[in-house]
Structure 1
């Protein structure tokens, strides 16, 4: 990687030009956020029931007394030895945000199709604290287009990220994030979903690396990422509560 070395004055000129573009992007992000909030909602009619550490809970009960719910569709299928590397990378950024989310009327929960004991085993390995429930016996993952049956994959096309993609580019599980709102009458509404790289801005490590001299320094997307206990000389993780 080669960069010209210039005077401070030349650097300031180049930096101010980039700053103008950064401000343009910030204003565009604000506009996009407003458009996201203006999306219409869909009432959730199906009665989804999840396995949790406190027993069976409906989607409405996952809100835990708040009016907003963020669901992380975490790639951990039944029988998997470990969760998706990318999902695990994103999950490392959640625990520190929980207190802020919960005090701003937002509940965060991860949902996977793996049975609850398998979720607990991996959660304890990773040392995470956020709530993580199982949709093992529900259609939830399939209805929100993050899980696919063998029959769907065999057809050659699956519906993901709001379009049909080649099944060769898909797996039985794919990542995503969905948002829900519950009104005072207890009605639940689906307000937003994003898939693939759609939640990338939530990963703080990426945002820091984008400002580092070498950027993300990757040949393919996330080729350098490992589960946090798989890096060389990774610190030992203490097991968390289930």
Structure 2
């Protein structure tokens, strides 16, 4: 144990702060590069089962511009099923911030597994999870790199055309769960004026859009958009 005076402690903290600020700027630059990733048009139809029946990938957007899908392993054969999802995926689910903040940025977060809807509903109630959670019925998991391991895909839409914009798995998922982490992997980012984003991306002053999670207006949009794929 290294015991120091208050002045020495503050000096050590400020030295570390220089490196922490460098890391913050590097993270911002990396997120700016993500916002310039090319878009991959999704032409293959994908179907899922939701609480109200069969839906497609476009339906998962819930009318918003962006979609983030986490492939959680709550499947037959997974340890703990049907009482639990896998321990790692459950840890991820436990860290998800209130989705109203993402929705306010025209972004929907959804989980997807191969468990049935009755099993998923029971699991969500038991664990206190509220994010939308769908049953994969086709090749979505295999086609998007999450057939045998967890991972997070980001999508955007122009009208009814869906594009894949980003994918992260492995330890990359550790940074997710909070509102900022999720927005930083999307094509539109946090949509704040300080961000380095391509021309035409929606941006508003920081802090201005922040609100209590029960005070946002419904942010589902009807489509269209203010930027195009590259």
Structure 1 residue 32 corresponds to structure 2 residue 30 = yes
2:111 is matched with 110
Which residue is 2:68 aligned to? 70
> What whole-Å deviation, never above 9, does each CA across 1:49-72 have from its counterpart, x for those lacking one?
100001110001111110100101
Residue among 150, 153, 156 paired with 1:178: 153
| 1:194 equivalent in alignment to 2:174 | no
Whole-angstrom CA distance in 1 between matches of 2:119 and 2:51: 12
The structure showing larger relative contact order (alpha-carbon pairs under 8 Å, at least 6 residues apart) is 2
Where does residue 87 of structure 1 map in the other structure?
89
Moved over 4 A (4+): none
For residues 21 and 6 of structure 2, the distance between their equivalents in structure 1, rounded to whole angstroms, comes to 22
Deviation at 1:117, TM superposition (A): 2.1
Mapped partners of 1:116, 1:58: distance in 2? 15
Shift, 1:203, TM fit: 4.2
Choose between structure 1 and 2: higher helix proportion.
1
- Paired residues of 1:113 and 1:141 also in contact (CA < 8 A): no
In structure 2, what is the Cα distance between the partners aligned to 1:110 and 1:36? 22
TM-score normalised by the chain length of structure 2: 0.72
Unaligned runs of 5+ in 2: 182-230
- Within 1, Cα distance between the matches of 2:44 and 2:118? 25
C-alpha separation in 2, matches of 1:117 and 1:129: 15
Query: For 1:57, what is the secondary structure of its paired residue?
Result: strand
Q: Report which of the two structures shows the higher radius of gyration computed on alpha carbons.
A: 1
For residue 22 of structure 1, what is the aligned residue in structure 2? Answer: 20
Pairs aligned (count): 175
Instruction: Tell me the distance in 1 between the aligned counterparts of 2:161 and 2:76.
Output: 30
d(CA) in 2 for partners of 1:145 and 1:199? Answer: 14
Kindly state the Cα deviation for residue 98 of structure 1 after the two structures are TM-superposed. 0.8
Q: Secondary structure at the match of 1:46?
A: coil
Relative to the length of structure 1, the TM-score reads 0.69
Report if the CA contact (8 A) 1:78-1:115 is conserved: no
Distance 1:27 1:42 in 2: 28
What CA distance in whole angstroms lies between the structure 2 residues aligned with 1:68 and 1:142? Answer: 21
SS for the counterpart of 2:98 is helix
* Cα distance in 2 for residues equivalent to 1:70 and 1:22: 28
Pick closer, same or farther for the CA change 1:109–1:203 going to 2, 3 Å.
closer
Name the counterpart of 1:130: 131
- The separation in 2 between residues aligned to 1:60 and 1:38, in whole angstroms, is 22
